[in-house]
Amino acid sequence: MRKKVTVVGAGNVGATVAMRVAEKGLADVVLVDIIEGVPAGKALDLAEAAPIEKHDSRLTGITGDYNEAKDSDIVIITAGIPRKPGMSRDDLLATNMGIMSSVVKEIAAVAPNSILIIVSNPLDAMCHMALDTSGFANNRVIGMAGILDSARFRAFIAMELDVSVENTHAFVLGGHGDTMVPLPRYSTVAGIPITELMSSERIDALVERTRNGGAEIVGLLKTGSAYYAPASAAVEMAETILKDKKKILPCAVYLEGEYGIKDLFIGVPVKLGENGVEDIIQIKLTDDEQKALNNSAEAVKTLVDDMKRLGG
Ligand code: APR
């Protein structure tokens, strides 16, 4: 059976996700947007690249009508507005919560067995909206953040030490925002903790750059936010699920007491497979790390409460 991935939002992140899913030959792709013509145009453009890129994924673009998304295996939701300079991810809340709820209602009706990968910001709050609106089990609503944040940390570690990115491994916990918690002692180069390879001042500088990684790009682009790395991260999640790889990846998932956090989406290491989140990996944190994670959870909770006040 051919696999189907629906990508909602045919903007910068969505179109890049569609391209990578197709070029990796992972599945057929349905691109959905509210703008007339754009998803169809981008899907056709990508389909015309297929003979050169050598893949047989079928690409379709639709506006408004979700029938094409019927029985999707995975739905990646990127619909919403991105940040502009001076905005935090949280400033997107009021607009994107309405978009998320309307999209998820449509998806739940046509693809009730799908796994949702949420990309729209503010990420952790959007995951709550998607879980509540869909009525899906917790293991089938997963937020993309930790892979992106740790990829940024890995890129900065590789630049700093002049080593291959392939040798790097990094661990970032917490919400996708200024309170994210990079864990240097679990971040390694060829298995060696970076705490053995860099001064604590340099590590602090890289951690700070990782926390501000999204804002750094918004500041440079000026008209929107990052999309190449966010798309790569979402596609890694989709690939892991479609191929039932059982990879351990940091993702935003609904915690029910793990790490002492309850009823909240927050970034932690999980095992991803064909059933979505198949396990939540609990690692022992130091007091400082647990404090930082609690602080991050508090920030997510404030946003979820704001969303409820706004009627979400
Ligand atoms: N249904 C479908 N698509 C929608 C809807 C909706 N209800 N509302 C908006 N969109 C579409 C827009 O028309 C646009 O094409 O979502 C797309 C968003 O694309 P961009 O503006 O290019 O934004 P992008 O950079 O892709 O970011 C999307 O991902 O990383 C996050 O913070 C980012 O929340 C933002 C999201």
Q: How far is the CA of 158 from the centre of ligand 1 (A)?
A: 31
Structure tokens at 169: 């491994």
- CA-230 nearest atom, ligand 1: 30
> Whose CA is closest to 73, among 158, 7, 153?
7
Q: Which residues fall within 8 angstroms of residue 189, CB to CB, at 6 or more apart?
A: 157, 161, 163, 167, 168, 169, 197
Counting ligand 1 atoms within 8 A of each CB, the residue from 12, 20, 63, 123 with the most, and so the one to mutate, is: 12
275-299 per-position pLDDT tens digit:
999 999 999 999 999 999 999 999 9
Nearest CA to ligand 1 atom 31: 120
Residues in the chain, overall count? 312
List for the chain the helix, strand, coil content (%; round to 5).
Answer: 50, 20, 30
pLDDT band (50, 70, 90) for residue 82: confident
Which of the following CATH numbers is that of domain 4-143: 3.40.50.720, 3.30.460.20, 1.20.140.10, 3.30.1330.20?
Answer: 3.40.50.720
The residue type found at 92 is L
Return the CATH class of domain 146-309.
alpha beta
Q: How far is the CA of 35 from the centre of ligand 1 (A)?
A: 10
Q: What residues does each domain of the chain span?
A: 4-143, 146-309
Least confident of 109-113, 120-124, 238-242: 120-124
Q: How far is the CA of 185 from the centre of ligand 1 (A)?
A: 36
Distance, first Cα to last Cα, the chain:
37
176 labelled catalytic: yes
Same fold, 4-143 and 146-309: no
23-64 per-position pLDDT tens digit:
999 999 999 999 999 999 999 999 999 999 999 999 999 998
* pLDDT above 80: residue 311: no
pLDDT band (50, 70, 90) for residue 90: confident
